[in-house]
């Protein structure tokens, strides 16, 4: 399914939507086309360029804490760049691990959850990092808002790169 990057009027990335939704926003003149893909969309009476990046005409206020959305497996994996935080593996089948296990009082918060391969997750078990000498390569923290763009589209098209902060 084709995905389209949606930018706010200020050019900050706020969402990824379907090609159909992007076409509706363009036709209603609620957005403008910034980048297009090869090809076009045709109807009986008109043809429009196939959008890849659109920008909303009017500014939409996004709450500051929007990036503190619900913790999901995909969001954790995207935040950690689909890499095990213990061994650095990028193999498929990654899991999520509570750094301080829930059985030992750890909470299910961004600052306590990391991506882990199945091998490292089993090896760590319900032990604390200091007990088994397994510490995450990066200190877990709440993700940047752009991580949810990565969740919606794990493979970022090259046309989107210039609109996304380099940290993404």
For residue 111, CA distances in Å to 22, 30, 88 come to 35, 38, 19
Which pLDDT score, from 0 to 100, does residue 89 have?
95
Domains of the chain with CATH codes: 3-64+145-163 (no CATH), 69-132 (1.10.30.50)
Compute the average pLDDT of residues 77-105.
94
- pLDDT tens for each residue of 22-63: 999 999 999 999 999 999 999 999 999 999 999 999 999 977
Indicate the burial class of 87 (C-beta count within 10 angstroms; 0-12, 13-18, 19 or more).
Answer: middle
Residue 124 has pLDDT above 50, yes or no: yes
């Amino acid at each position: 399914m084709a995905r389209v990057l949606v930018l706010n009027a200020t050019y900050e990335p706020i969402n990824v939507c379907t090609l159909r939704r992007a076409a509706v926003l363009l036709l209603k003149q609620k957005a403008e086309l910034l980048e297009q893909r090869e090809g076009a969309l045709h109807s009986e009476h008109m043809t429009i360029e196939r959008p890849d990046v659109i920008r909303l005409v009017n500014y939409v206020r996004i709450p500051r804490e929007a990036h503190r959305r619900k913790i999901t497996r995909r969001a954790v994996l995207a935040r950690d760049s689909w890499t095990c935080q213990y061994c650095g593996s990028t193999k498929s089948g990654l899991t999520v691990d509570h750094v301080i296990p829930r059985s030992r009082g750890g909470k299910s918060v961004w600052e306590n959850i990391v991506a882990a391969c199945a091998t490292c997750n089993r090896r760590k078990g319900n032990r604390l990092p200091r007990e088994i000498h397994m510490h995450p390569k990066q200190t877990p923290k709440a993700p940047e808002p752009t991580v949810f763009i990565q969740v919606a589209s794990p493979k970022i098209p090259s046309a989107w790169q210039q609109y996304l902060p380099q940290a993404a």
